[in-house]
Amino acid sequence: MRWVESGDVRLWLVEEGDPARPTILLVHGYPDTHRVWDEVAGLLRDRFHVVRYDVRGAGRSTEPADHAGYTFDHLAGDLSAVLDAIGKPAVHLVGHDWGSLQCWDAVTRPGIRERVASLTSFGGPGLAQAYRFMREGSRGEVAGQRARSWYIGVFQAPVLPETAWRTFMPAVLERSMRVRDGIEPRPGHPADTLARDGVNGLWMYRLNMGAGLRPRHTDERGDPVVDVPVQLIEATRDPFVSPALLASLGRWAPRFWHRRVVAGHWAQRGRPDVVARMIAEFVDHVEGAEPSPGLRRARRVAGSPAGRTPEPGRAFEGKLVVVTGAGSGIGRATARAFAAHGAEVVCADIDEPAAVRTVEGIVKDLGGTAYAEQVDVSDAARMEDFARRVRAEHGVPDIVVNNAGALVAGAFLDHSVEDWRRMIDVNLWGVVHGCRLFAAQMVERGEGGHIVNIASLAAFTPSVLLPAYSASKAAVKMLSDCLRAEVAGQGIGVSAICPGFVSTGIARHATYVGVDLREVSVEAVARRGYPPERVAAHILRAVHRDQAVVPVNAEGKLGYAMSRLSPGVTRGLARLSKAALRLGRPRPHGTGSRP
């Protein structure tokens, strides 16, 4: 700990870790101090040289003699003085909130940008880049960001903001941290100097938010381009910065990585483990290491229009998707659909050659990236090995589609215990294993995700022909509802997809007990003519819109509506379905027709 002189102020500097290792310089925001970084610094200091300081007028640092001393020029001068004190050719900058704003400005300034190896930004855009977004973004997106930035106008008013900070604002801030971010105040954050820091920092808004928005350090075309590698960490629950504004920042950074953490404004307090991991992975990569799978997929191409959503066909660019039962039918169609929309896909199936064929089709037909895996979803130990292997080789998946399933058809009294066991093991336990293992990975990673469970029309429409299958699919739907409620707070969505009759091979490969309905079933499904590709489209839409229950095709939607509006009618129709048993060929009691 030491003082650094910068003009007429003294800056309080804190250093941890081995100075011989790469240096990470953490710059705090408003109205914080260097103590907001305590948790992150504690996680990084064993591997890096970690430096923090209180910006002018905050914490232990002194304030300038005049309010005019809070311009970006003065803040850049402070950063330059800190870099001089560190004494290294280059450091890795990490900025949050106003710390992020001043870092974006600093890395465009000659004399500083040459001394910055990388920039990690969260909680605040570059003002010059934000200026271009406000000029060129769509009306709706610009209006949305203006609504989030309401406080900037309030801070311009005389006297009132100062009075608020000296009276009730510290208590309001602490309550906001608890309610909105889910974090508890602790010693050092908010700081004991909060009221004074809040008053002093108002001048950063008053002096920089007008002219400061206009680019001053630009390239030859007048664009606010940043030459250093930039990692943007988007806190998905930050109420102050819109996703559209953050996405537009990649336009100005040729080397740009965009990552997300499920957290509020103070992500370094809410999920310090995730923030520290992302910083470390990025610094390691800039220093020469291979990128982690998550960092590799986070790389974005500069030059996309500001504030625009991904172009059609690439909506899942940078996502890792796991699909079970991907060797055929709905699973194969879903794997291909995600790959066509830019995702990397792990295609898993109990039939490894079938999974390989799906991968070969994705690579040859779509030019996509996919990997084949063999797994029996009903086997807990093998599923655990599979989940570990996916994480080790490809990273934590963003989307998991639990699709693998089996079908036993016939009357309840013709089902054996083994028939029931098979239905529960594959259709229910397979989904349970997939949800349990991959949801745990997603929660730990802290970046959100989505789980899709393939249920069925049979989940809410009883049938004499499918007692075990219907029971297993009803359980899948309820499991999905329960899990959705549990993990919603972690930014993880869960969807239950409930198709009606789909033209796949499930009828041909089913087990029939009591009577052999194979020929009738295969013909009926073929005549229905509903391709699995249309189910896949519903799955992608469900993920994009975070839909809870998605009935698919006419009979699926009608059955779902009837189950909610008139359950008695669905039970009556179930009794009528008994007539279908007379269409099949009788078989000896208790035996099954195997595929």
Which residues are tagged catalytic?
Answer: 469
* Burial (0-12, 13-18, 19+ Cβ within 10 Å), 187: exposed
Residues 544/537, Cβ–Cβ less than 8 Å: no
Residue showing tokens 């989904």: 431
- Please tell me the chain's helix, strand, coil percentages from 3-state DSSP, rounded to the nearest 5: 50, 15, 30
User: How far lies 421's CA from each of 160, 512, 586, in Å?
Assistant: 70, 15, 23
Rounded CA gap, 250 and 105, in Å? 15
- The closest alpha carbon to 63, from 45, 75, 73, 51, belongs to 75
First-last CA distance in the chain:
74
b/e burial code for range 421-455 (CB count within 10 A of at least 16 → b): ebbbbbbbbbbbbbbebbbebbbebbbbbbbbbbb
Residue 438 has, within 13 A of its CA and on its CB side, a CA count of 34
Give helix 329-340 / helix 352-361 axis angle, nearest 10°: 30
The SS3 assignment for 256 reads strand
The SS3 assignment for 551 reads strand
